[in-house]
Amino acid sequence: MLRTTCNNKGFTMVEVLIAMFIVSVGIIALMSMQPLSWQTAEKSDLLGRAAGMLEQELEATELIIMNPNNVIPAGGTKTVYASGMGALQQTGDVAYTVQTNIVNAGSSWTVTVKVTWSGNNRGISESLIVSRQESFRM
């Protein structure tokens, strides 16, 4: 029986170069997607904050209208900052415009709230129909 001494352990230089090429192509593909993921994260953050402000404004207006002892506000526009403070705090702080419109429809009121921010003039909006609970009048 003829035995040849052959060292089959390890990798050849060609296999190493092919593996390095495949890994580098994968890393470059992932790096090219990084800016898009940052933009998507920013849009998601802005939209999430706007949704929170919209819901808060709807709930506050609903509570005011439901109480028969309160005078119904006329609605209006106000600026709310992402930091939650009354004025611009830092460079990354975003100003949101919250527009509230209240329409009397007899025994109920339609409350429409629209939240916009810089770079997105369409914003998001939601409507709610509110009625008073007159039987609880004091």
* Residue 7 belongs to a domain: no
* Residue 67 belongs to a domain: yes
Record the pTM. 0.72
If phi > 0 it is left, if psi is from -120 to 50 it is alpha, else beta; for residue 84 that is left
* Residue 73 belongs to a domain: yes
Tell which residue, 66, 58, 70, has the closest CA to residue 111.
Answer: 58
* Residue 8 belongs to a domain: no
Quote the pLDDT of residue 21. 95
**Structural domain for 111, as ranges:** 13-136
* Residue 1 belongs to a domain: no
User: How many structural domains does the chain have?
Assistant: 1
Tell which residue, 32, 55, 67, 58, has the closest CA to residue 112.
Answer: 58
Rounded to the nearest angstrom, the gap between the alpha carbon of residue 64 and the centroid of all alpha carbons in its chain is 27
> pLDDT (tens digit, 0 to 9) for every residue of the chain, 138 residues total?
566 666 667 778 899 999 999 999 999 999 999 999 999 998 998 899 999 999 999 999 999 988 888 888 888 999 888 776 667 767 778 889 999 999 988 888 999 999 999 888 889 999 999 988 766 555
* Residue 57 belongs to a domain: yes
Quote the pLDDT of residue 118. 85
* Residue 2 belongs to a domain: no
* Residue 5 belongs to a domain: no
